[in-house]
Every structure is written in structure tokens, then in C-alpha cells.
């Protein structure tokens, strides 16, 4: 019973923290992290232990899968060069830089252990970085680069971590064998991801029940990860590839009802998982501090050195990676040269999160390492402290930095123009299909459908920036909502008086809810 109670309490606190964050206008991970920090020092609070498998199999896969589902594959492909430079090149450089710095501060600790710590703290987090980036209105290419980096860097960081741990515990192989293992793991993960994505797409194409669609979608990331782990391939690569493939094909695979329902289900799951994860990070701090065997000065020095190294290396990498590549004519012709403010903002958007949490928990225990001078608890604390520092320092100042440097992008008018143009073509195609299929249909029905199509096209053009105080579509939405409220009230009164059954009320409510949700989407 106790684990169930603890879970309910954690989820409840996460929900309250997220609600408070929205009320205050902050990003939820920051508020939940601070809440966890505060709660960790409350006397009498039970210790919360995080199992590595819980994070690696229960939390990380669905978060990465959803992030991949929502990624624009076309934009991702166009930004693949800078994404790979960050997700592979920067990860390796950061891990070794952190390793050498920590080894200089703790010369008795094996270099392999220090590089393992570097691999743990190297990858930025998909959840925190993109949540803040979207909220403050960073340019879309910047958001795509940050998303792509955080999707792919997990695999490179975890592979490097495993190699470092192998060297630490004495199971490492030669260079070529390691290179072969890395290639095999990445290639195997790619094949598994594609194979299961194709299988899931085949199922989605043939399923007509939205509940079964939801079930297949929910199972996909977990099945992919479990199979990839059992076959000793990269589960991160597998789940990201599966998400990218299915996300690009979802418009062709699912019915309208399945898409709406699946979107709602995944939004709820990610909302709860993200909240619980950042709350758990904060709750671990008290226990971690109590287990550190090193003195306070050493702990603070190593933590500050690791944080400073992460920031400096990312800045040192961003400018050459951005501008030296454009010396190549083909790249210069394809990609515009951004102002220095853009790599500056990307360099500062290096918040750590779930992957660092999961990786820190997989560090070997002291009894597994032959060298006695291996401060595992210190390294785990440094990893958790890195998450806290990057979120609290970089996460809170990133909006101000982007505002000061002018790295913002308002695409409202551009999106409205593009939508209006495509909607015009879509309406014309719809009217042509109506004319071809209208034989035998009542004239009143055909006229009603024509009017609906014209209304949708006009609404799209209205968004281009009408100077009226209230556009016709806005007035329609406002008045129709008032009408829907009146209709709902009548149905509820009829149910209360026994004139209709609960089933009738639910059916009517569903129709009215769908219509009102469509009105709300039109306003966004």
C-alpha cells in the first residue's frame, strides 16, 4: 500500500506545482525542481529512492518518443548538420573536458571514472530546453536545433558512458572493438526502430477503434526499448527513430478521432512524467548530501568546476561550429549566416535533465571498481547539482538573454499567410470533390456544405491581421459559445428531471464539447 500512497502523493505535488507554475508564469520544471529541493529538507519526510530501470525504461522512452513524434522531420533534416555537430561532436568534447578537469582536481580518481562523469553531465535535456525555447518565442530553426540535439545526444552520451564504465571496471576492449560495438549498437537501434515503427504503422492503418490506436501508441516506445535492450543495441536510437518515423506519417495513419484522443492521452502522460521527474531530482538532494564522504570544500569546488566547464566548452564549440562550416561554399549557399546572438543563445540553452538523471544512477558502485579512490556518491551529487544549477541559472536567465540580444521570432503573420494560401487550395479541392459527389444529395445539404467551406477559407484570411476590433469569426466563436452554454444547461436540467437518460446527456455533451473545442482551437 505504501508505494501506491507515495506515488499518489508525488503525482499530486507535481500537479499542484505545475498549476502554480502556470499561475506564476514560470516553466513547470523550474518550479517543481525548487519544490523538490524545499521538500527534501523537511524533517520526517520519507526517503525517495529512484531506480535506474524506472528512469531508463519507464520514464525516458515515452518522453523521447513524444518529443520525436512532435518533431518536424522536414526541418530536422534541413538542420541535420548543426544537430549532429552538437549531438555527437560536442558531447564527446564535453565529456573529455569535464573528465580532465575533474581528474586534475581529484588526481587519485581514475581518469575513466572522471570521463564517465563527463558523459553523464554532457547531454542537454529535451524537456527543459525546448519548453523554455517555445515559450519565449525563439526562432524555429533554433528550436529545431535544440530539439534535434536533445533527441540524438542521449545515445552518444550513453554509449560513451558505457565505454568509460567498461574501462573503469576493467572490461574495456581495444579501439577497433569499441568502434565496432558502437556501430553495431547504433545500427541495431536504427534497424529495430524502423522495424517496429513500420509494424506500428501497419497496425494503426488497419485499426478503426480509437482506444486500440491509443493502446498501440502507448505500448510502442516501451516495446521498442525492451527489445532493443534485450538485443544489446541502442534503445535510445531505436525509440527516437520510431518516433520520428511515426510522427511524420501520423496524418496518413490515424482517423480524426484517434488523432484527437491520442494527442490528449500523450499530453497527459508527458505532463505527469515531466512533473514527477523534476520533483524527484529535487527530492534526492538531501539524501545525496548526507552520503558524500568528501569534505564540503572539495564537493563545492568539483561541482562549480563541472558547471563552469559545461558552460565554457559549449560556448567555445558553438562559434566555430556555426561559422567555420560556412567557409565551405556549398554550406554557405544553403544556409544563411546567423548573427553572433543566435549561437550565443543556443550556447546558453544547455539545461540538463532526465538523461543526466538516468545516466548518473547507472554509475557503478564502489565495490565494482578495483581502484579504492572512486567517489561515486560525490559524482552522483555533482550530476544532480548540475541539473539544478543549469535549470535555475540558465533556465531562468535564457528569456532575458534572448530578449536583450533580440533573438525572437514572431511568425504569426507568416503562418497566417501560409495557412490562408493552403486553406484556399484545400477549400477549392473540397468544393470540386463536393460537385463530383453531390449527385442525388438534397440541394439544401450541398448549399450548407458550400457555405461551411467558404466560411473556413474566409476565417483563414481574417487571421492575416484585420484591424477590426472583432472579426466575424471571433464574433461567431463568442456568440456560439454562449449558445452552447445555454444548450448544455437545458440538457442537464432535463437529465435532473428524469426526462432523458444519462446516456443521452453524455452523447449531447460530447457533441457540444467537440464543437466548443474546435472553436477554442480556432482562437489559438
- pLDDT (tens, 9 = 90+) of the chain, 524 residues, equals 466 777 787 888 888 888 888 787 777 777 888 888 888 777 766 667 777 777 778 888 888 898 888 888 888 888 888 999 998 899 999 999 999 999 999 988 888 889 999 999 999 876 666 666 667 777 888 888 888 888 888 888 888 888 888 777 765 555 556 666 667 778 888 999 999 999 999 999 888 888 898 899 999 999 999 999 898 888 888 999 999 999 888 888 888 778 888 888 888 888 888 888 888 878 877 777 777 777 888 889 999 999 999 999 999 999 998 888 888 888 877 778 888 898 999 999 888 888 888 888 888 877 767 666 788 888 989 998 898 899 889 888 888 888 888 887 656 566 666 666 777 777 788 778 877 777 777 878 777 778 777 777 676 666 665 545 667 777 777 888 888 889 888 888 888 888 888 888 888 888 888 878 777 665 55
For the chain, the structural domain boundaries read 2-409, 410-465
Provide the sign of the torsion angle of the four alpha carbons 34, 36, 42, 43, taken in this order. negative
Burial of residue 236 (CB within 10 Å: 0-12, 13-18, 19+) is: buried
The grid cell for 93 is 568534447
The grid cell for 145 is 536545433
Task: Report the C-alpha gap between 487 and 468 in whole angstroms.
Answer: 29
* Fold annotation for 2-409: Na+/H+ antiporter like fold (1.20.1530)
The pTM assigned to this predicted structure is 0.80
The grid cell for 339 is 548573427
The torsion angles phi and psi of 346, rounded to 5 degrees, stand at -65, -40
SS3 assignment, position 125: coil
Closest CA to 392 of 121, 19, 35: 35
The Cβ-side half-sphere exposure at 167, using a 13 Å CA radius, reads: 16
SS3 assignment, position 230: helix
The grid cell for 427 is 477549400
SS3 assignment, position 501: coil
SS3 assignment, position 318: helix
Q: How many helices (H) and strands (E) does the chain have?
A: 24, 0
Amino acid at each position: 500500500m505504501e508505494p501506491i500512497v507515495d506515488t499518489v502523493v508525488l503525482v499530486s505535488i507535481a500537479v499542484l506545482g505545475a498549476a502554480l507554475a502556470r499561475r506564476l508564469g514560470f516553466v513547470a520544471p523550474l518550479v517543481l525542481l525548487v519544490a523538490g529541493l524545499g521538500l527534501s529538507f523537511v524533517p520526517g519526510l520519507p526517503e525517495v529512492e529512484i531506480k535506474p530501470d524506472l528512469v531508463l525504461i519507464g520514464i525516458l522512452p515515452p518522453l523521447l518518443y513524444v518529443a520525436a513524434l512532435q518533431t518536424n522531420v522536414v526541418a530536422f533534416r534541413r538542420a541535420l548538420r548543426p544537430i549532429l555537430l552538437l549531438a555527437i561532436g560536442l558531447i564527446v568534447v564535453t565529456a573529455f573536458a569535464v573528465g580532465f578537469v575533474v581528474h586534475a582536481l581529484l588526481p587519485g580518481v581514475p581518469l575513466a571514472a572522471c570521463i564517465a562523469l563527463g558523459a553523464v553531465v554532457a547531454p542537454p535535456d529535451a524537456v527543459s530546453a525546448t519548453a523554455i525555447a517555445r515559450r519565449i518565442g525563439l526562432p524555429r530553426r533554433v528550436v529545431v536545433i535544440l530539439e534535434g540535439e536533445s533527441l540524438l545526444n542521449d545515445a552518444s552520451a550513453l554509449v560513451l558512458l558505457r565505454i568509460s564504465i567498461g574501462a573503469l571496471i576493467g572490461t574495456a576492449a581495444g579501439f577497433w572493438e569499441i568502434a565496432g560495438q558502437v556501430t553495431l549498437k547504433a545500427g541495431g537501434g536504427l534497424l529495430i526502430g524502423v522495424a517496429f515503427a513500420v509494424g506500428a504503422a501497419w497496425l494503426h492503418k488497419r485499426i478503426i477503434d480509437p482506444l486500440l490506436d491509443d493502446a498501440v501508441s502507448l505500448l510502442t516506445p516501451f516495446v521498442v526499448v525492451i527489445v532493443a535492450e534485450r538485443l544489446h543495441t541502442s534503445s535510445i536510437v531505436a525509440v527516437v527513430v520510431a518516433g520520428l518515423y511515426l510522427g511524420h506519417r501520423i496524418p496518413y495513419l490515424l482517423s480524426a478521432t484517434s488523432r484527437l484522443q491520442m494527442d490528449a492521452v500523450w499530453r497527459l502522460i508527458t505532463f505527469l512524467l515531466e512533473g514527477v521527474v523534476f520533483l524527484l531530482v529535487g527530492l534526492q538532494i538531501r539524501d545525496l548530501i548526507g552520503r558524500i564522504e568528501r569534505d564540503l570544500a572539495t564537493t563545492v569546488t568539483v561541482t562549480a568546476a563541472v558547471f563552469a566547464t559545461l558552460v565554457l566548452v559549449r560556448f567555445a564549440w558553438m562559434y566555430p561550429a556555426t561559422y567555420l562550416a560556412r567557409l565551405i561554399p556549398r554550406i554557405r549557399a544553403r544556409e544563411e549566416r546567423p548573427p553572433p546572438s543566435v549561437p550565443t543563445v543556443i550556447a546558453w540553452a544547455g539545461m540538463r535533465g532526465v538523461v543526466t538523471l538516468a545516466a548518473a544512477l547507472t554509475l557503478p558502485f564502489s565495490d565494482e571498481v578495483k581502484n579504492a579512490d572512486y567517489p561515486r556518491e560525490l559524482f552522483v551529487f555533482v550530476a544532480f547539482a548540475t541539473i539544478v544549477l543549469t535549470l535555475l541559472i540558465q533556465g531562468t536567465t535564457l528569456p532575458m538573454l534572448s530578449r536583450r540580444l533580440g533573438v525572437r521570432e514572431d511568425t504569426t503573420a507568416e503562418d497566417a499567410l501560409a495557412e490562408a494560401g493552403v486553406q484556399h487550395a484545400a477549400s477549392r479541392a473540397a468544393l470540386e470533390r463536393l460537385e463530383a459527389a453531390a449527385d442525388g444529395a438534397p440541394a439544401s445539404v450541398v448549399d450548407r456544405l458550400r457555405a461551411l467551406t467558404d466560411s473556413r477559407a474566409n476565417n483563414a484570411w481574417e487571421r492575416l491581421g484585420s484591424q477590426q476590433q472583432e472579426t466575424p469569426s471571433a464574433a461567431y466563436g463568442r456568440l456560439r459559445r454562449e449558445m452552447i452554454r445555454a444548450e448544455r444547461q437545458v440538457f442537464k436540467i432535463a437529465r435532473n428531471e428524469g426526462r432523458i437518460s444519462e446516456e443521452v446527456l453524455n452523447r449531447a455533451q460530447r457533441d457540444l464539447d467537440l464543437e466548443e473545442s474546435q472553436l477554442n482551437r480556432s482562437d489559438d
